[in-house]
Amino acid sequence: MISLTSPVKTPWHSWPAGLKLGLLCVATMVLFSLENVFLHLAAFAACIGLYSVPGFVFLKVGCKRLVFLWPFLAVIVIWHAVTGTPVEGAVIALRLLTAVGLANLVTMTTRLSDMVEVVKMLLSPLRVLGLKTRPLEIAIALVVRFTPVLAQKGRDLTFAWRARSPKKPKWQIIMPFTLLAIDDAEHVAEALRARGGI
Amino acid sequence: MERNLVMIALFAALIAALGLIPKITLAFGVPITAQSLGVMLCGTVLGSRRGALAVLLFLLLVALGSPLLAGGRGGLGLFVSPTAGFLVGFPIAAFVTGLIVEKWRNAPLTLVAGIAAALGGIVVLYVFGVIGMSITLDKSIAEATALVTAFIPGDILKAAIAGMLTAALAKARPNSVLSRA
């Protein structure tokens, strides 16, 4: 399964996932309570610093992951230029970039399996109470396994459509696509039951 | 038990797979993805509780770092980005959509599912989306609403498609439309 973890090894990879998530929570809360533009500048610089430690390639990938924010940054810039409040605009834009940047950093330096371990740990109190957490673990595995399978079936349907029509398929393939997913679900459920159930 | 679990997991995967379908650009330049159609379908097909669980499972995997959102995005950053409110609203939207389909039984399913998808997937979802945007961009509710109105026509189209699809699925696989089972 593809994940967003960076293949570039960084010092942050070896930190425990739980610690990183805890620090991220604290950092995000602090960012949303600060209003001083210089503190936000410092926080943003620190965030870039964290990305720079592992080297240029890592920094570049990190920047690419922030590109999706540009429409929002454009709105903020235009808005605050028009209303004549550039400092407030800078605070909002910097906060957005730092908060999303730090969160992406945790995602980029933590393997999916380590994240799943944290979830299991957080769920352990439920096990003490007698609730079964195994269904959730199976469900996570099923989604990870079936997303590429369904994506492939979607591509096959698109090819089948293209073989019959000069036009591109639009919403028409969603019906057979959903049917395939439902049929798969019925088969997998039967297979799980046949193997002793959950 | 197994059947419910697998249906929930496969619909979570379906939301992800729908995000991979190339986006359609509306006449006036607003891109729409099929992903929120997946959220609507979770509600109309699986019903309130299972629908919401499927969406929660999908969001859990996104948060853990799987690139399942449209455009191959994922990770924790999305939960503090301006669109975070929409992510928070997704499971509630699916729940409300499912609840309406479960309770309102004396009208044609196409109509019921379409209206349910519109109320859950647009009205409820946008309440959360607008609040999230107003917090992250530090704008008033009215200002944040103005920023998202361009996406509403696309979502109305998706609600209509969700209605038709649900009725068609109920004909093709009556036992699998759990909201009416």
Asked whether the predicted pLDDT for residue B25 surpasses 80, the reply is no
Whether A103 and A188 share a structural domain: no
Whether A51 and A33 share a structural domain: yes
Contact check, Cβ <8 Å, A116/B161: no
Whether A67 and A163 share a structural domain: no
Tell me the mean pLDDT in the region A141-163: 89
pTM over 0.80: yes
> Nearest residue on chain B to A21, judged by CA atoms?
B76
In the three-class reduction of DSSP (H, G, I as helix; E, B as strand; rest coil), residue B169 is classed as helix
pLDDT in tens, B50-105: 999 999 999 999 998 888 888 778 888 888 888 899 999 999 999 999 999 999 99
Whether A8 and A104 share a structural domain: yes
Q: How many beta-carbon contacts under 8 Å exist across A and B?
A: 181
Whether A168 and A128 share a structural domain: yes
Considering only residues A161 and A168, tell me which one the structure prediction assigns the higher pLDDT: A161
Residue among A133, A143, A140, A157 at smallest CA distance from A185: A143
Chain B CB contacts of A170 below 8 Å: 24
B92: tokens are: 């509630």
Query: How many angstroms separate the CA of residue B55 from the nearest CA in chain A?
Result: 11
Residue among B59, B119, B113 at smallest CA distance from B83: B59
Tell me the mean pLDDT in the region A43-50: 94
* Distance of alpha carbon B45 from alpha carbon A115, whole angstroms: 30
Considering only residues A49 and B68, tell me which one the structure prediction assigns the higher pLDDT: A49
Whether A103 and A118 share a structural domain: no
* Distance of alpha carbon A79 from alpha carbon A166, whole angstroms: 44
State ipTM.
0.87
A10 contacts chain B (CB < 8 A): no
pLDDT classification of A145: cutoffs 50, 70, 90 = confident
Whether A190 and A124 share a structural domain: yes
Full residue range of the structural domain in which residue B127 is found: 2-180
Query: How much is the pLDDT for B57?
Result: 94
Whether A4 and A98 share a structural domain: yes
Full residue range of the structural domain in which residue A65 is found: 1-110
Q: B66-104: string of b/e by CB count within 10 Å (b at 16+)?
A: bbbbbeebbbbbbbbbbbbbbbbbbbbbbbbbbbbbbee
- Whether the CB-CB separation of A3 and A113 falls below 8 Å is answered with no
* Distance of alpha carbon A68 from alpha carbon A147, whole angstroms: 23
Asked whether the predicted pLDDT for residue B23 surpasses 70, the reply is no
Tell me the mean pLDDT in the region A113-130: 85
Query: How much is the pLDDT for B24?
Result: 63
Whether A120 and A99 share a structural domain: no
Chain A CB contacts of B173 below 8 Å: 179, 182-183
- If contacts are CB pairs under 8 Å, which of residues 21-50 in chain B contact chain A? 21, 24, 34, 37, 41, 45
Q: Count how many domains chain A has.
A: 2
B139 contacts chain A (CB < 8 A): yes
Query: How much is the pLDDT for B28?
Result: 52
Whether A59 and A81 share a structural domain: yes
CATH number (domain holding residue B23) = 1.10.1760.20
Whether A62 and A156 share a structural domain: no
- Residue B84 makes CB contacts below 8 A (sequence gap 6+) with B78, B132, B136
Where does chain B have alpha helices with state H? 2-18, 35-46, 48-64, 84-103, 109-118, 125-136, 141-148, 152-172
Asked whether the predicted pLDDT for residue A149 surpasses 60, the reply is yes
Percent of chain B with pLDDT over 90: 55
Contact check, Cβ <8 Å, A103/B77: yes
Task: Work out the mean pLDDT of chain A and round it to a whole number.
Answer: 88
- If contacts are CB pairs under 8 Å, which of residues 48-77 in chain A contact chain B? 65-66, 68-69, 72, 75-76
Contact check, Cβ <8 Å, B6/A192: yes
Residue type, A138: I
Residue B54, CA atoms < 13 Å, CB-side half-sphere: 34
Q: Any long-range contacts for A167-173 (C-beta under 8 Å, 24+ apart)?
A: A170/B24, A171/B34, A171/B161
- Whether the CB-CB separation of B159 and B111 falls below 8 Å is answered with no
Whether A117 and A61 share a structural domain: no
- If contacts are CB pairs under 8 Å, which of residues 57-116 in chain B contact chain A? 57-58, 60-61, 64-68, 71, 73-82
Asked whether the predicted pLDDT for residue A198 surpasses 80, the reply is no
A104 contacts chain B (CB < 8 A): yes
Residue among A14, A73, A192 at smallest CA distance from B5: A192
Instruction: Give the best-scoring range by mean pLDDT among B27-41, B43-57, B130-144.
Output: B43-57
Asked whether the predicted pLDDT for residue B117 surpasses 90, the reply is yes
